[in-house]
Chain A
């Protein structure tokens, strides 16, 4: 009887969270998937179209552009971030004067919300703004279209993203480095290993699970990018769709073009992509382990 009661009490305690997730997470996901199989446009009742929306995406120029831009952004917002944040972590793992003050200053970009970061950088990247002055004044350039040039705009987005992301991932690396037993490094040092060999043969293998965490989080984060492209650019997605990413395309299709079925189909594709990449990273970690 006691076991029975404990069982029910447990269920009762868990139930609010289960209901919360069912209503606000599971139902929207399922509803989104169902919506992706219709041609719902807000004005008319939805019609069942099967997989037509997904098939149409294969030849949808806007989707293909957004997919390409997203992959470029993911590439720019992951690999450089992994390397730079690891380097920063290794640097701040060393003992030097004012280390904590510098570490705090380096971490500051993580604190404000992305929207604030984007608004501040939008001012800094004004064609005649501070960044132009820094980058162009020495060669007499007074105007650089950081955000309205089709080549510079996507690079600017990546740069701003990485500026804010590197300190965050540095902290994760630092936590991983702190977990490495110092005796192993000491032993390597006694055996005459150089710092590089110590890093390669001792630190890096022991940081594998941290690396997977950094890789998974940064990849998911990069795939879901939206705020930067929406707020930083004077013309969200522009110029000429050069900063149009999948997250932004969902908004465009849904609430600008009122093509809810297509918007939902893109969301499903995004979900599948993120799931695949994350699963692959976890599988790789397990296999390597």
Chain B
């Protein structure tokens, strides 16, 4: 072997070693997002930009159907093949925290000096992901509902949407009646206003919002205790039962309110967030946005509870992957303006807030400042199911509140007691 060949062999060997070393250093992040069609193209562009800016990090991006997202996430965690970075709703985070799936935020990896450097840029949004004083995720969407009025229907009924929307729940039945069209048998053919009964998350938010308005809560989160009891709970349930059975203004047997409102079959709906504005434009609905009514003798004038989606990191991923995942989380959430303008995902960051100067958006922001976060309980799926079954028993089964309410509270406490025992066993 001459000198030239010898050099070639050495260079080739060095190249192979360098390649192997580079490959060994490359980190792959498995990122799972739920399906939200307007967001996917933006996601892909962000991921691509991130990979270009960080050649040592590869992102394995996947979109999962909303209906399967929660189950697939859990089964993936169970089999040890869960994502390193994932986006999930606030109502599901308690069980991940309970099972030690969530990694606390790595501020250094995200490029922040401390918590204040991150949260200082946001109006609100972190309360839903704070456990025992630590943050475990970054919001990718923060939302709250307000009431959308179909101006055309309101005006046809002789009402002024800007002036006649009631401030209290007590005035609501009379107003809804004016907007309701009934057949000769009294059955509503077009509802004036109705709660979004078929949507369990909406029902969850409605109950807790009304409880807070009356100065109570559905849960004592810290102590794993259901507190859906007493005169305040009875008052809220009586109002809802009367809505269905006394005033016959709607009920769980009707189509979901969003679909009906966008189809022009419902005069008023309070189950859209700020993200509903483009949907109103698409459906060519002339609308007005109003804050949620409250109880005349209520203790707080809060609107709907806020809810959020968070970007979280799997605590079971390797430290290097976790760091890379937090870096991507920062990169992703820094594109909040694009996600808002392109996919309607609102996050109350300073840069996004500058895009929300219109009066309709201001209604949501004013309500958001007063809103508390939706309760975070372990076993959410079972608990919301208990509430829904109780709702049906009262409204469709005609059972008295005095019977159903304690039963619901007991059933929820049984679930929470079990989950608390599991959490304590995990700590041991």
B284 to chain A, nearest CB (A): 27
Indicate whether A239 sits within 8 Å of B397 (C-beta atoms), given known contacts A140-B185, A258-B74.
Answer: yes
Q: Is A257 close to B, CB under 8 A?
A: yes
Q: Is A25 close to B, CB under 8 A?
A: no
* Residues of B close to A255: CB separation below 8 A: 71
Indicate whether A258 sits within 8 Å of B381 (C-beta atoms), given known contacts A42-B78, A43-B78, A240-B392.
Answer: yes
Query: Which of the segments A95-103, A142-150, A203-211 contacts the partner chain?
Result: A142-150
* Residues of B close to A241: CB separation below 8 A: 389, 392-393
Work out how many contacts link A and B, with CB atoms closer than 8 A: 81
Query: Which of the segments B47-55, B94-102, B160-168, B268-276 contacts the partner chain?
Result: B94-102
* Residues of A close to B17: CB separation below 8 A: none
- Beta-carbon contact of B252 and A148 below 8 Å: yes
- Flag B388-405 by CB within 8 Å of A: 1 or 0 each: 111011001111000000
B412 to chain A, nearest CB (A): 12
Indicate whether A257 sits within 8 Å of B381 (C-beta atoms), given known contacts A145-B253, A150-B393, A239-B252.
Answer: yes
A140 vs B71: C-alpha distance when bound (angstroms):
46
* Residues of B close to A148: CB separation below 8 A: 252-253, 396
Q: Is B422 close to A, CB under 8 A?
A: yes
Q: Is A238 close to B, CB under 8 A?
A: yes
Q: Is A186 close to B, CB under 8 A?
A: no
Contact pick for A42, options B77, B183, B392, CB 8 Å:
B77
Q: Is A104 close to B, CB under 8 A?
A: no
- Flag B55-87 by CB within 8 Å of A: 1 or 0 each: 000000000000000010011011000000000
Q: Is B187 close to A, CB under 8 A?
A: yes
Q: Is A44 close to B, CB under 8 A?
A: yes
- A255 to chain B: closest residue by CB: B71
| Total contacting residues, chain B, CB less than 8 A | 34
* Residues of A close to B185: CB separation below 8 A: 140-143
B78, B95, B396, most chain A CB atoms within 10 A: B396
A136 to chain B, nearest CB (A): 9
B interface SS class: helix
- Beta-carbon contact of B78 and A240 below 8 Å: no
Which chain A residues numbered 246 to 264 have a C-beta less than 8 Å away from chain B?
252, 255-259
- Flag B89-119 by CB within 8 Å of A: 1 or 0 each: 0000001100101000000000000000000
A149 vs B395: C-alpha distance when bound (angstroms):
9
- Flag A72-93 by CB within 8 Å of B: 1 or 0 each: 0000000000000000000000
Q: Is B171 close to A, CB under 8 A?
A: no
* Residues of B close to A47: CB separation below 8 A: 425
* Residues of A close to B388: CB separation below 8 A: 235, 238
* Residues of B close to A256: CB separation below 8 A: 381-382, 385
Q: Is B411 close to A, CB under 8 A?
A: yes
- Flag B228-253 by CB within 8 Å of A: 1 or 0 each: 00000000000000000000000011
Q: Is B426 close to A, CB under 8 A?
A: yes
- B423 to chain A: closest residue by CB: A44
Q: Is B379 close to A, CB under 8 A?
A: yes
* Residues of B close to A6: CB separation below 8 A: none
* Residues of A close to B264: CB separation below 8 A: none
Q: Is B201 close to A, CB under 8 A?
A: no
- Beta-carbon contact of A240 and B99 below 8 Å: no
- A260 to chain B: closest residue by CB: B78
Q: Is B198 close to A, CB under 8 A?
A: yes
Indicate whether A240 sits within 8 Å of B397 (C-beta atoms), given known contacts A42-B75, A43-B78, A235-B388.
Answer: yes
- Beta-carbon contact of B381 and A150 below 8 Å: no
- Beta-carbon contact of B385 and A252 below 8 Å: yes
A143 vs B248: C-alpha distance when bound (angstroms):
13
- Beta-carbon contact of A235 and B187 below 8 Å: no
- Beta-carbon contact of A41 and B422 below 8 Å: yes
A20 vs B50: C-alpha distance when bound (angstroms):
47
- Beta-carbon contact of B99 and A150 below 8 Å: no
Indicate whether A44 sits within 8 Å of B426 (C-beta atoms), given known contacts A142-B187, A143-B187.
Answer: yes
A43 vs B78: C-alpha distance when bound (angstroms):
5
* Residues of B close to A252: CB separation below 8 A: 385
Q: Is A162 close to B, CB under 8 A?
A: no
B23 to chain A, nearest CB (A): 32
Indicate whether A150 sits within 8 Å of B392 (C-beta atoms), given known contacts A43-B99, A235-B198, A258-B381.
Answer: yes
- Beta-carbon contact of B183 and A142 below 8 Å: yes
Q: Is A61 close to B, CB under 8 A?
A: yes
A211 to chain B, nearest CB (A): 37
Q: Is A225 close to B, CB under 8 A?
A: no
- Beta-carbon contact of B96 and A240 below 8 Å: no
A66 to chain B, nearest CB (A): 12
- A62 to chain B: closest residue by CB: B411
- A153 to chain B: closest residue by CB: B396
- Beta-carbon contact of B392 and A238 below 8 Å: yes
- Beta-carbon contact of A44 and B99 below 8 Å: yes
B414 to chain A, nearest CB (A): 9
Indicate whether A234 sits within 8 Å of B392 (C-beta atoms), given known contacts A145-B253, A239-B252, A239-B397.
Answer: no
- Beta-carbon contact of B74 and A43 below 8 Å: yes
* Residues of A close to B198: CB separation below 8 A: 234-235
A223 vs B185: C-alpha distance when bound (angstroms):
40
* Residues of B close to A41: CB separation below 8 A: 99, 422
A144 vs B185: C-alpha distance when bound (angstroms):
12
- A151 to chain B: closest residue by CB: B397
Indicate whether A150 sits within 8 Å of B396 (C-beta atoms), given known contacts A42-B78, A61-B411, A142-B183.
Answer: yes
**Interface pairs (24), CB distance under 8 Å:** A42-B74, A42-B77, A43-B74, A43-B101, A44-B426, A61-B407, A62-B411, A127-B253, A128-B187, A142-B183, A142-B185, A143-B185, A145-B396, A234-B198, A235-B392, A238-B389, A239-B397, A240-B390, A240-B399, A241-B393, A257-B381, A257-B385, A258-B74, A258-B381
Q: A44-B426, A148-B253 are in contact. List 17 more A-B contacts (CB 8 A).
A: A42-B74, A42-B77, A62-B411, A142-B183, A142-B187, A150-B398, A235-B198, A235-B392, A238-B392, A240-B396, A240-B397, A256-B382, A257-B381, A257-B382, A257-B385, A258-B95, A258-B381
Nearest first, the 7 closest Cβ-Cβ pairs linking A and B are A240-B392, A239-B392, A43-B99, A148-B253, A240-B393, A150-B397, A42-B74
